[in-house]
Amino acid sequence: MNIAVLASHGGSDLQAIIDACRSNRINAKVCAVISNNSGSFALQRARDNGIPAFHLSIKTAKTADALESEILATLANTNTQFIFLAGYLKKLGTSILKTYKNRVFNIHPSLLPKYGGKGMYGLNIHEAVLAANETETGITIHRVDSEYDTGSIIAQTKVPVKPNDTPESLAARVLEREHSFIIETLEKIIKELNMNPYKQCPTYETQSFIIRLVKEEDAQDLLSCYSDPKAQALFNIDGFPHDCKFNSSEEMLKYIKFWLKEYAQEAYVRFSIIEKSTNKAIGTIEMFGMVGRYKTDPGILRVDIASVYENEVYLKEIFDICITNFHSLFEVKTITTKAPPIATTRIQVLHEAGFKPHIYNGKEHYYSHSN
């Protein structure tokens, strides 16, 4: 499991994570360290341990949008599977949070929701705890959302406040506990993610699409797509009875509910492809072969794209998402996908993207991409 650690200053929490990875305490490796501070010791720790280190800030990118793009590209290029903020004092952009939905975690030195929010960092937190005459404080690890310290709480631990504490002595006691608490919690997070790779189910965004878990509200749009004779002829949608006619949105909804049930039971996942210009679902991406009763060849993720669109630009965006994200997300060596001979545009795009003809379960017309 590849972790990118973002830190702004000393990086002692980062060092705890590096040490735990090296000792196999946690089944992961730090694949990148990013800091907004060129002089942070976190970057030096990364370099000392042979880990790719990146200074990315408004100074290097000039604009907030450019910075967000640089961070996202760095995460993709280092095959990041989830992100841990270890004293990172900047907000992450919307596209990063969408791409790594439910896979961005932060550690905060208080028992949230107490002493969280903008301005609550470093000694400010411990000064506030002492000013309120608290008898205990603690540490929180939570998922990251668009606001400071408001994401869902994953784990907390308490740390006593002593009568003669200063902000500095309290900070030191909390930090000491942080180092072990991070590893305890990461063990649980990584175990959960490894048990069910589909549980992460992020949302992806390209220039033309938003790709997210299928929803019941997509029924009418997908009815138009799946009932189109061209779609049936081109893509031979797998998993449906041959007499399935999709005569109504109610029938389509029945299948969507079935897909969501299968997802909940860890069998497979189906994404909807939402066209930004129309805000309509124009197809789906189905992924299986990793868990559940559809598990097939070890290390192979099957990706079936069902859409009436054979637009070259659209297909390039979709397959780029597959290559850029799915290898690392599902820790697979090979992605395979179906393209019947009449899907000439799709086959051309697959060849250009590095896919090769592949016999899958004894069947032809499949193409695979190996990492």
Q: Are residues 214 and 69 in the same domain?
A: no
Of 195, 230, 264, the one marking the end of a domain is 195
Of 195, 216, 246, the one marking the end of a domain is 195
Q: Are residues 310 and 345 in the same domain?
A: yes
Kindly report the backbone phi and psi dihedral angles of residue 353, in degrees, each rounded to the nearest multiple of 5, phi listed first.
-85, 0
Residue 82 to residue 4: CA distance in whole angstroms: 6
Q: Are residues 218 and 323 in the same domain?
A: yes
Q: Which pLDDT band, with edges at 50, 70 and 90, does 56 fall under? A: very high
Domain count, the chain: 2
* pLDDT value for 322: 81
Q: Are residues 74 and 54 in the same domain?
A: yes
Q: Are residues 181 and 216 in the same domain?
A: no
Is pLDDT above 60 for 296?
Answer: no
Annotated active-site residue in 108, 126, 142, 327: 108
Question: Alpha carbon 328 to chain centroid distance?
Answer: 10
CATH number where 310 lies: 3.40.630.30
Q: Are residues 124 and 46 in the same domain?
A: yes
Q: Determine whether 108 is an active site residue.
A: yes
Q: Are residues 324 and 211 in the same domain?
A: yes
Q: Are residues 151 and 223 in the same domain?
A: no
Instruction: Report the chain's mean pLDDT, rounded to a whole number.
Output: 85
Highest mean pLDDT: which of 121-135, 206-220, 317-331, 339-353? 121-135
Is pLDDT above 60 for 63?
Answer: yes
Q: Are residues 91 and 146 in the same domain?
A: yes
Q: Which amino acid is at 359?
A: I
Residue 303 to residue 301: CA distance in whole angstroms: 6
Residue 288 to residue 334: CA distance in whole angstroms: 12
CATH number where 173 lies: 3.40.50.170
* pLDDT value for 246: 63
* pLDDT value for 240: 44
Parent domain of 116: 2-195
